[in-house]
Amino acid sequence: TSSQVGRRLALIGDDINMRY
Amino acid sequence: MESSEFRYVYYLVQDYLKYILQEPELGPAPSRVAHVLRNSASFLQKENEEILKPCLDTLDITSVDAARRIFIQVMDKEFDDGNTNWGRILTIFMFGGILSKRLQEHKVQLTGDNKEQISYFITEYIINTKAEWIDANGGWENGFLPMFEEK
């Protein structure tokens, strides 16, 4: 669902933010 | 009449979508920010498209209007914890790219008009909800660029 995608995107964003 | 900030983000979104959709007339990126955005967001997109696929398959992305609704719902969820960072900003572009590719896969003709509409609703979201954060965090030139350039 769109909620799942939204939560995933938040995790992906936070992860890339930590990696860079 | 849109602000210069709106036009700036609009051109970044447009350039990224053209890049993702591999438009034949695409030239070099029009600026350093656009260049870095092409590379970093598309890298992220390649890395995550397959992981997101099972979730995306449940969504009915078969028209530009549907894509707009889904985009807003997904963004509202992504940012409902109140946190913003450059990584999450990058995912906005990535998700715009994913939606555009999905529309193409569903045989939705991405006419110039359709692409303008998609670029417009993505830009509108960024300007309405993230412009202040972007400005307070160095903007594209001094915040985004140093973080993602040559990495």
| Whether A6 and B78 lie within 8 Å, measured CB to CB | yes
Chain-chain contact of A8 with B75 (C-beta, under 8 angstroms): no
Query: What single letter denotes the amino acid at residue B57?
Result: D
- The fraction of chain B above a pLDDT of 70, given in percent, is 99
Q: What is the DSSP letter of B83?
A: -
Number of H helices, E strands in chain B: 7, 0
Residues of chain B found within 8 Å of residue A20, distances taken between Cβ atoms? 86-87, 147-148, 151
Residues 1-20 (A) with a CB less than 8 A from some CB of B: 1-10, 12-18, 20
Q: Quick one: three-class SS letters along B55-82?
A: HHCCCCCCCHHHHHHHHHHHHHHHCCCC
Which residues of chain B neighbour A16 with C-beta distances below 8 Å?
Answer: 44, 87, 90-91
Tens of pLDDT, residue by residue over B103-114, are 998 888 888 889
Residues A1-20 pLDDT 10s: 899 999 999 999 999 999 88
Cα separation, B108 vs B106, in Å, equals 6
Of the candidates A1, A3, A13, the beta carbon closest to that of B91 is on: A13
pLDDT of residue B1: 58
Per-residue model confidence (pLDDT) at position B106: 87
Write down the pLDDT at residue B150: 73
Mean pLDDT of B123-148: 96
Chain A residues inside the 8 Å CB shell of B87: 12-18, 20
First-to-final CA distance of chain A: 29
B43-84 pLDDT, tens digit per residue, is 999 999 999 999 999 998 999 999 999 999 999 999 999 999
